[in-house]
Amino acid sequence: KQEVTQIPAALSVPEGENLVLNCSFTDSAIYNLQWFRQDPGKGLTSLLLIQSSQREQTSGRLNASLDKSSGRSTLYIAASQPGDSATYLCAVLNAGGTSYGKLTFGQGTILTVHP
Amino acid sequence: DGGITQSPKYLFRKEGQNVTLSCEQNLNHDAMYWYRQDPGQGLRLIYYSQIVNDFQKGDIAEGYSVSREKKESFPLTVTSAQKNPTAFYLCASSARGLGGIGELFFGEGSRLTVL
């Protein structure tokens, strides 16, 4: 059964810092990996989608990498701003085993960027 | 603007009552999903539909029911058989169904509280 773990569970940084959020998964048979942002009491907003054949995706100050063989993805946020404060979740779309065709979510990293 | 609309945003229910949560999308997506989010847990899949008039149970379907009579709409009914219905419910859609490579988009969520 696929398991997705996000480390750290919470992170607090001063404005302007570059930071890395980590996501690991136990089964490398995936179609894609998606990073989301969730503000308190709101739905999820898609940030980046990486297909299994890709190594990274970039959008503005965000860069996500994928190492499928080691079961890891990182989300890099450059020059963090207070508006980046939110919970960040990763999810993998499973391509094999009992989780075939299903998304498995991590529990998220709560990011606080203080001025 | 294209997107996913969930209603109501907040809902209170007495024990023993059924309630229906609405989810409408104008993205012309084939697939729609319902997730449940509880504090300290990742998102869990309740039901999903890859095409009109077809739907499948997710990981925690007991006590819930759905219908997919129109492509745009995927309502979720929380029945009195659901033992712990208080949660944040999220509806999502993707251009193609699970097993494809589509990006997942979410609504703003509905918070259900059982009194």
Q: Give the model's confidence band at B99: pLDDT under 50 very low, under 70 low, under 90 confident, else very high.
A: low
Region B2-16: what's the mean pLDDT?
92
Distance from CA of A13 to the nearest CA of B (A): 22
Q: Does pLDDT of B53 surpass 70?
A: yes
- Does residue B101 register a pLDDT over 70? no
B41 near A CB under 8 A? yes
Confidence of residue B12 (pLDDT cuts 50, 70, 90): very high
Considering only CB atoms, B108 lies closest to which of A42, A104, A108, namely A42
In this prediction, residue B60 carries a pLDDT of 94
pLDDT tier at B96 (50, 70, 90 boundaries)?
A: confident
Picking from A4, A31, A45, the nearest residue to B101 by CB comes out as A31
**Which 8-state DSSP code applies to residue B104?**
P
Peptide bond preceding A8 in cis form (omega within 30 of 0): yes
Q: Is residue B107 pLDDT above 80, yes or no?
A: yes
* Record: contact B42-A104, CB cut-off 8 A: yes
The answer to whether residue A59 neighbours chain B at the CB level (below 8 Å) is no
Q: Which pLDDT belongs to residue A16?
A: 97
List chain A residues with CB under 8 Å of B97: 101
The per-residue pLDDT for range A62-114, each reduced to its tens digit, is: 999 999 999 999 999 999 999 999 999 999 988 876 666 778 899 999 999 99
- Partners of B31 in beta bridges: B94
Whether residue B6 and residue A43 make contact (CB cut-off 8 A), yes or no, is yes
Select the residue from A103, A104, A107, A109 to test the B interface by mutation, using most B Cβ atoms within 10 A: A103
**Both structure tokens of A49:** 């989608």
The answer to whether residue B60 neighbours chain A at the CB level (below 8 Å) is no
B107 near A CB under 8 A: yes
The beta strand positions in chain B, using DSSP E, are 4-7, 10-13, 19-25, 31-37, 44-51, 54-57, 64-66, 76-78, 87-94, 105-106, 110-114
The predicted-structure confidence for B64-88, as pLDDT tens digits, reads as follows 999 999 999 999 999 988 889 999 9
Res A65: pLDDT: 97
Cα separation of the two ends of chain B: 35
**Min Cα separation A97/chain B (Å):** 13
Q: So what's the pLDDT on residue A98?
A: 65
